Amino acid sequence: MAQRVVIDPITRIEGHLRIELEADGGRVSKAWSETTQFRGLEEIVLGRDPRDVWAFVQRICGVCTSVHAIASISAVENAIGAVPPPQARLIRDMVLASQEVQDHVIHFYHLHALDFVNVAAAADADPAAAVDFAHQIGSTWKGNTIERMTEVRDTVQAIVSSGQLSIFTGGYWDHPDYRLPPEANLMAVAHYLDALEFQRSMIRIGTVFGGKNPHPNFLVGGMACTIDPNRSESINQVHIDQIGQWIAESVEFVTACYVPDALAIAGVYKDYFDIGAAQPNFFAVGMAGATFAGNPDASSVANAHTEVRPGVLLDGDFATVHPFDPSKIAEWVSSAWYRYRGGDVGLTPDVGETTVAYTGPKPPYAWLGDGTEYTWCKAPRYDGRPIQVGPVARVLLAYAQGHERTVDIVDDAATTLGISLDQLNSTAGRTLARAVECLTSVEILAQRTFPEFVKRLKGGDIEVFDGTKWEPGSWPATASGRSFVEVARGNLSHWVGIEDGKVSHYQAVVPTTWLAGGRDADGHQGPYEESLAGDGQHPLVDPAQPLEPLRTIHSFDPCMSCAVHVLDGDGHVVQAVAS
C-alpha cells in the first residue's frame, strides 16, 4: 500500500512550496506540487502610470528584483515605442549577467549543495587531504590551502560538538545516501563559506548602476543613472575600474571553484543523471540575459546574444529547433485556486485573468492532493505541452544551434562524466547545466559586454536615456506590449495593456510558474510533478528523511514568490491563507 509523504515547507528556496508524494517500495508513484504562498502584485498596477510599474513588479521577489524590472520596462517600451540607447542596453545586460552569475553560485552552494554534501562529516576530515582532493578535481581556487581547510574543519568541529548546528540545523546528516569522502565534504563546506564572500562582488555591479540593492532603480527609455568618467557625482572612472575588478574576481571564482566542484559532485552522484527527468520539451529565447521588447522576431531592442536564436525543442529531439511562437503560450487554472470567466480553458497572457476562487480545506490541513485544485500556481503550457525552462533549456538550445563555447564545455563534461546529451534532462543534468551556463555567462560579460561598454565610453558615448517617448502625449491611446527575458531560473515574460496613459492589463509568466504549475485540463503534470513521479522510479529510501525528492526539486531552483502574485486593484488582500 502506498505511503503518503508530505514535505512542507521545502526549505532553501524562495517562498513557500509544499510537495505531497505517494511512495511504495522505496519509489515515488505520485506527486503534487503545491504552492501554498498567497501573495502578489500584478493586479495592483492596474490604473497606474506604466512608467512606474517596474518599481512595483520588481517587488514580486526579493531575489529576482532586477529581472522583473527589466522585463517590465521592456514590455512598456514595446507598447509605447520607446527604444533605449545602446549604453543603456549594455548596462541592463551587465545587470542581468551579474544577477544571473550571483544567483547560480548562491543556488549551487547555499541552496542545493547540502543535498549532496554532508556538513557534519566535514568535522572528521584531514585538511591536507581536502587540499589534495581539490587539486585532484582541477580546482585552482586560492582558498585551497591547509590553513583555510584547518580553520573550516575546526569551526565545523566546534559547531557539531556544541549540539547547535546553526545554519546547518535541520539537515538529514545521518541519511545513508551521503557519498562524498570526508575531505570532499570539508572542501565543499569551505567553498560554501567562500561563496558567501564572493557573491558580494557580482551584486555590487547592479548596485553601482542601480543605486541600491535589492530593488535597484530603472527607467523606461533607458537607465536612471548618469555616466561621466570625470565627475564624482556620476558613474565615473573609479566605478568602472571597480566593476572590471569585480568581473575578474567572478571569472576566477566560477572557473577555479564552482565548475570543478559541480563536476566533482556530479561524478559521485552520477546515477542522478538518470533520475528526475521531466517532460523532454524545452524553450528559451536565447542564452542567459537575452532580452526582447516584443516578439523576438520583431523586437525594438537589439539583443546582445545573437549567436543563439529563440527556439523550442520537443519530444526529446535535441537536434531540431522549432520556431518560437508567443501566441502558443497559455495558462491553465485547472488545478489552481482561480477561476476564468470562460471556464476551464487556457488563456494567453495578453488576456489572462487572476480571479481568486479558493476551494481548499481550512488550514491546518493534512493533505491537499485529493482535491482537483491544490495550488496557487497556474499551469502554463506551450502549444498544449508542459515545458521546461531554465539553464538546461538554454544549454540544450545553444548546443543544438552549435554555440561553440557551449558545445565545448558540454562535450568535455559529458566525456569526463560518461553521460549523453539527453541525460541533461535530469536532477544532475539541471545542476550541471547551471554551471555550464554560469561559465559562458561570466565569460561573455568579461570578454564582450563590459569591454563594449568601456569602448563606447572611450568614444564619448555616455547617453543612457532617450526621452522621445517619455511623455504620455506621444503614446497611442491604446497599446499593448510584451517582453521576453532569459533570467536565472528560465524564461520570464511580462505582458502589459495601456489605455489612455494608464495600465489596463498586466500579467507576468515567470520561470517557476512554468515549472511548478500543477495538472492541466488534460491531466498532464507540471515539470516538478513529472520529475518526481513520471516514471515511478524516483527513489525515496526513508520517508522521514526525503532527501532524494529534495535533490530533484532543488535542482530547479524554485522561486515561489515569483510564481504566485495576486492582490486586488486597491492593494487589499482578497483572502488570507495560512500555510
Domain range list for the chain: 3-563
Q: Does pLDDT of 569 surpass 50?
A: no
Question: What is the rounded average pLDDT of the residues 246-258?
Answer: 97
Q: What is the pLDDT of residue 565?
A: 65
What CA–CA distance (Å, rounded) separates 36 from 360? 11
What CA–CA distance (Å, rounded) separates 425 from 415? 17
Question: What is the rounded average pLDDT of the residues 476-484?
Answer: 97
| C-beta of residue 389 within 8 angstroms of C-beta of residue 529 | no
Q: Which pLDDT tens digit goes with each residue over 331-363?
A: 999 999 999 999 999 999 999 998 889 999 998
Q: What is the pLDDT of residue 573?
A: 39
Q: Which pLDDT tens digit goes with each residue over 266-287?
A: 999 999 999 999 999 999 999 9
Q: Which pLDDT tens digit goes with each residue over 72-95?
A: 999 999 999 999 999 999 999 999
Confidence of residue 577 (pLDDT cuts 50, 70, 90): very low
Q: Nine-digit cell at 195?
A: 561563496
Q: What is the pLDDT of residue 563?
A: 82
Q: What does the angle CA 223 – CA 229 – CA 232 come to, to the nearest 5 degrees?
A: 90
Q: Does pLDDT of 201 surpass 60?
A: yes
Q: What is the pLDDT of residue 306?
A: 83
Q: What is the pLDDT of residue 574?
A: 38
Q: What is the pLDDT of residue 230?
A: 84
Q: Does pLDDT of 1 surpass 60?
A: yes
Question: What is the rounded average pLDDT of the residues 148-159?
Answer: 97
Q: What is the pLDDT of residue 568?
A: 42
Nearest one of 355, 357, 370, 379 to 577, comparing CA atoms: 357
Q: Give residue for cell 476564468.
A: 340
- Above pLDDT 70, what percent of the chain? 96
Q: What is the pLDDT of residue 510?
A: 94
| φ/ψ of residue 509, rounded to 5 | -110, 110
Q: Nine-digit cell at 38?
A: 498567497
Q: Which pLDDT tens digit goes with each residue over 159-184?
A: 999 988 888 888 999 999 999 999 99
Q: Does pLDDT of 571 surpass 50?
A: no
* Pick from 37-41, 375-379, 419-423: least confident: 37-41
| Collapsed DSSP state (helix, strand, coil) of residue 320 | coil
Mean pLDDT of the chain: 93
Q: Give residue for cell 523586437.
A: 299
- My answer on whether omega of the bond before 214 falls inside 30° of 0, hence cis, is yes
| C-beta of residue 92 within 8 angstroms of C-beta of residue 232 | no
Sign of the torsion formed by the C-alpha atoms of 94, 380, 19 and 389: negative
Question: What is the rounded average pLDDT of the residues 183-191?
Answer: 98
Q: What is the pLDDT of residue 570?
A: 45
Q: What is the pLDDT of residue 170?
A: 85
What CA–CA distance (Å, rounded) separates 17 from 10? 5
What CA–CA distance (Å, rounded) separates 57 from 41? 6
Question: What is the rounded average pLDDT of the residues 466-485?
Answer: 97
Confidence of residue 32 (pLDDT cuts 50, 70, 90): very high
Confidence of residue 60 (pLDDT cuts 50, 70, 90): confident
Q: What is the pLDDT of residue 108?
A: 98
CATH number of 3-563: 1.10.645.10
Q: Which pLDDT tens digit goes with each residue over 92-101?
A: 999 999 999 9
Q: What is the pLDDT of residue 300?
A: 67
